[in-house]
Structure 1
Amino acid sequence: MLEAAPIQEQRRAGWRAEIRNEWFGNIRADLLAGIVVALALIPEAIGFAIIAGVDPSVGLYASVAIAMVIALVGGRPGMISAATAAVAVVVIPLVRDHGVEYLFAATILMGLIQALAALLRLDLLMQFVSRSVITGFVNALAILIFMAQLPQLTNVSWETYAMVAAGLAIIYGLPRLTKAVPSPLVAIVLLTIVAVWFGLPVNTVGQMGDLPDGLPSFILPDVPLTWETLQIILPFSLTMAAVGLLESLLTAQIVDDMTHTDSNKQRETAGQGIANVGAALVGGMGGCAMIGQSVINVASGGRGRLSTFAAGAFLLFLLAVLGDWVGRVPMPALVAVMIMVSIGTFSWVSIPNLRRHPPTSSVVMLATVAVVVVTHDLALGVLTGVLLSGIFFAGKVRTMFAVERVRREHSAVYRVTGQIFFASVDRFTRALGPESAYADAASHVVIDVSGAHFWDISAIGALDKVVDRMRRNGRHVRVVGMNRASSDLVDKFALEDRTGLETGLAPH
């Protein structure tokens, strides 16, 4: 007990230091970055609500709740989560056929599923997402972010183009003079003043949809608590939970790389679930991490949880107090910010790497980009990349295999090296062909597998087949050199009697 007390005190001290660092280690930059993110969230939250077929307040209140809650319980400091298009497109049929109350119920169930995923450590599945898939995911998102700005750049006045150009000039030019204030915030404020002062004919935030004029209130979904309701919402909730976690965990990995820090993916998974439940209880839709806003936050100096909380809190302040002014913010200013995000998100080094990297890696990256851009489905694009990575990896390991036949005085020795699994079993069975096919066929056969490893039941089945074939041809067969892991598989799954099987290195 005496030794445990200092350890507990050290843990408490470490916990307090972590809180200070994540919340109060970068106060000024985090607050300014949060303001920029809040302004950029407004048009996107409205747009995503419109996609889902619900009132703009559903998207805006969701962004407020998710950002503030995830700052408290999430695992990735500085990452922005809010209402997203990835979740919005999933719920279109649900809202159309059953109404917004069922959306709230589905969002609560979505959060509970994500919390369960954290308990089951499903975040570890991200280990199977290769770097090529992540690069493709990033590039696809950059392209989608840019494409999302095109409606604001078509059939508009020349003043719109001039303001976008001026916004980009400020965003990229101001940091050369000073970095005291985030350049995207300066661009938004200056262009808003110019647009209002001169009455320029440009689109504004208010034209995207009606902004709510009050605070969100606590609600419970007005749906019957029946088995039928569960059958309706469960398929949507599962899809929302999967898509939300996929985008959140990939975005967390990207922000890890941008900030050269690590994050707790299990905690992030649980945090996403809690945040979505919170969003639904204040009349919001589901959401997840947003790579665009996360890039804005990091580029504006945001690093801690305070920046994420400030984004949600300032967005709430804007909606409740400054709604009229927010509605007058010109869309060209926000378009300039999102173009900056698109440029900053795209992995430009991946273009010359197409020639330097292995062809299979380049194919995986390009396939991920193509599927995401064509379908606008992030999950489908990542799944495509993961499947291709698995196929290419299996094909590569399949070739790491060899069989050498050595004729001795009274026996023939087959030395097997490499990995024996489902993709290499055909080559394995062909290489250990019938001994009778050789002119110097021996009556005794030794299969030396000291340089090989058997990975699955397909490999054990192939060994069964080889031994059985040789014995039916009148050969005495002995398998030697099998390592312990392979031998355990044989003991469990082999059909043939392994008379003469020896573990350890075979004698030479």
Structure 2
Amino acid sequence: MTSPLLTRLRAEWAPSIPRELLAGAVATFALIPEVIAFSFVAGVDPSVGLFASFVISLVIAFTGSRPAMVSAAAGSVALVAAPLVQSHGLQYLFAAGLLAGAVQVLFGLLRLGVLMRFVSSSVRTGFVNALAILIFSAQLPHLAGAGIATWALLALGLALIYGLPRLGALLGWRALTAIPSPLICVVVLSVLSSALGLALPTVADLGQLPDALPVWGLPAVPASLETLRIVLLPALAIAMVGLLESVLTAAVVDELTDTPSDKNRECAGLGVANIAASCFGGIAGCGMVGQAVGNVKYGGRGRLSTLFAGVFLLVLMVALKPWVSQVPVIALVSIMVMVSAETFDWTSLRTLVRHPRLSSAVVLATVVVTLASHNLAAGVAVGVVLSGVFFAFKVARLLDVRCEDRDGDGATGRRTWRVSGQVFFASADAFVDAFDVLGAGQRSVRIDVSRAHFWDVTAVGALNKVVQRLRHHGCTVDVVGLNAASEVLIDRLGTGAV
């Protein structure tokens, strides 16, 4: 009888070992062109990015929270790292990676992953769509000035990727559905290109591939305050960008698999992986949405697919280097085009016109800023800010202040203002303006706030201002209905007017 522990480990690591291995292999081929490309963006040799991707995948398979998620050395981290490499060299980049990893571990231990709850679904949609467009646009240089042979192989590659699973399902051939079609695409296009003697760019043309295993070693930088001054800000930027992309990637995989993950553990796990990568001569990395989507699409559900993606990458780059070097780049472009199409949220095009205009504006702003800056973190930051501003604007409009005259002829009797809604920095001015202080006369005034809530010091200041103005004009003011939270805030921050 299988023990509960073994059952849990099997579900977490490898629900289906063949599918995990094959899905991890697909993720590996999707990693190669992007890792090499972003290595050039960061100003480092391809081996630095490839070694880092191997180490990160290996470590985070054990330390991370999200099974089937793919993390590697790519993304906006490369953009942040480039200036440091140019100004101080590669060793300082490794030092920044160590510090960034430590910050990420601390972030996870302090359970600050909860902050990602402030990233709305509109921002996540914009993030995913912008990333899909960036992945696709990164393939265009490989197609610039391409000949008929290149376009023909691209068409054949896409036909194999999308057509073989459908053909296998139609004919009942399990082999065509069991083996991920991107792997078949790589083999077929490689054999065809070699057999026909086509002079096409190969993986070897992308850059010098590693010819040895990574070696452990601490960064060769002085242990001084000057070194800390140099690497501190880049390390914080690397840490924040990596955390943002990884947690958003985990959220995407959560939705695809309909399973939860611990974002705090994911943050700490990424930090451990980046520390390890830096000690093995690699650049820091983060979660990769496109590769994670491809992994899940082709059956990856457990940690084994993540682990194998890194191990297979090292095997390809070192042990099988002569064969991998001859793989035509167009085969990898075909896979990346598929990854781009699968990553893009096509339903968002329909919902863009049906959803509230402010939500759609957040999606578009996230996409536009990301594409303009080529920085996913910048796009998400703008999206989060806009979401907060729009939310505050909508909530502020829900504030309602109504005036009632009772117990008299309206000139000398009691006047009651009933307040409903949320009073905070965005609605405080509207709250003050709603009171006709001059028209109140010298009478008894009651302000009923039983249906209102005061959130911050600005709200408390607004209430105090109204009360002081009324008393200045000879009114007797009584504030009733304060809820417990508002009363505590007013007692703590108030000036004694209430």
The reply to whether TM is greater than 0.5 is yes
TM-score range normalised by the length of the shorter chain:
over 0.9
**Counterpart of 2:123?**
133
Would you say 1:437 and 2:439 are equivalent positions? yes
Superposition map of 1:465-504 within 5 A: 465-498=465-498
**Contact 1:368–1:385 at 8 Å: present in 2 too?**
yes
Shift of 1:450: 0.8
Letter in 1 for 2:207: G
Contiguous gaps of at least 5 residues in structure 2: 169-176, 408-412
Secondary structure of the corresponding residue to residue 418 of structure 2: strand
Q: 2:204 aligns with which of 186, 202, 206?
A: 206
RMSD: 1.3
Per the alignment, residue 28 of structure 1 pairs with 18
Q: Pairwise mapping of residues 330-479 of structure 1 onto structure 2 (< 5 A)?
A: 330-409=328-407, 410-434=413-437, 436-437=438-439, 441=441, 443-479=443-479
Residue in structure 2 matched with residue 153 of structure 1 by the alignment: 143
Say whether the 8 Å CA contact 1:411–1:442 is kept in structure 2. Answer: no
* Distance apart, 1:40 and its partner CA: 2.3
What is the distance in 1 between the residues matched to 2:4 and 2:426?
48
How far, CA to CA, are the matches of 2:227 and 2:96 in structure 1? 9
SS of structure 1 residue aligned to 2:400: strand
| SS of residue paired to 1:347 | coil
- Percentage of identical aligned residues: 53
Task: Identify the residue that residue 260 of structure 1 maps to in structure 2.
Answer: 258
Name the counterpart of 1:7. none
Compute the displacement of 1:86 (Å): 1.1
* Residues 1:143 and 2:146 aligned together: no
CA distance in 2, matches of 1:21, 1:149: 36
Q: Which amino acid aligns with 1:207?
A: D
Instruction: State TM-score, norm by structure 2.
Output: 0.95
Match of 2:51 among 61, 70, 93: 61
The structural deviation recorded for 1:22 is 1.6
The aligned residue for residue 222 of structure 2 is 224
**Matches for 1:112-127 after TM superposition, within 5 Å:** 112-127=102-117
Structure 1: gaps (5+ residues) = 1-12, 499-508
Q: Is the 8 A contact 1:66 1:287 kept in 2?
A: yes
Contact 1:468–1:496, Cα closer than 8 Å, also in 2: no
- CA gap of 1:126–1:298, structure 2 versus 1, over 3 A, is same
Give the partner amino acid of 1:437: G
**Separation (CA, whole Å) in 2 of partners of 1:144 and 1:271:** 26
**Paired letter, 1:45:** V
**Equivalent residue number for residue 303 of structure 1:** 301
For 2:477 and 2:43, how far apart are their aligned partners in 1?
70
What amino acid sits opposite 2:286 in the alignment? C
Which residue does the alignment assign to 1:17? Answer: 7
Report if aligned partners of 2:216, 2:279 keep a CA contact under 8 Å in 1: yes
Contact 2:67-2:302 within 8 A present in 1 as well: yes
Query: Quick one: which amino acid aligns to residue 186 of structure 1?
Result: I
What corresponds to 1:104 in structure 2? 94
Any residues of structure 2 matched to 1:41-52 within 5 Å, and which? 41-52=31-42
Name the aligned partner's letter for residue 308 of structure 2.
A
Match of 1:74 in 2: 64
Deviation at 1:15, TM superposition (A): 5.1
How far apart, CA to CA, are the structure 2 residues paired with 1:93 and 1:373? 20
- 1:215 alignment counterpart: 213
Distance 2:34 2:340 in 1: 14
How far does residue 259 in structure 1 lie from its aligned partner after superposition? 1.1
Conservation of the 8 A alpha-carbon contact between 2:270 and 2:286? yes
- 1:19 Cα shift? 1.7
Specify the code of the residue in structure 1 equivalent to 2:288. M
Q: Is the 8 A contact 1:52 1:89 kept in 2?
A: yes
CA contact under 8 A between 1:84 and 1:290: conserved in structure 2? yes
Q: 1:442 Cα shift? A: 5.3
Amino acid across the alignment from 2:402: E
Structure-2 change in CA distance of 1:495 and 1:15 (3 Å): farther
Deviation of 1:155 after TM superposition, in Å, equals 1.3
- Paired residue type of 2:285: G
CA distance in 2, matches of 1:115, 1:230: 18
Contact 2:42–2:78 (CA<8 Å) still a contact in 1?
A: yes
Q: What displacement does 1:119 show?
A: 1.4
Q: TM-score, normalised by structure 1?
A: 0.93
Shift of 1:496: 2.7
In 2, the alpha carbon distance for the partners of 1:122 and 1:14 equals 31
- Following the alignment from structure 2 to structure 1, what is the Cα–Cα distance between the partners of residues 262 and 105? 14
Matched residue type, 2:421: G
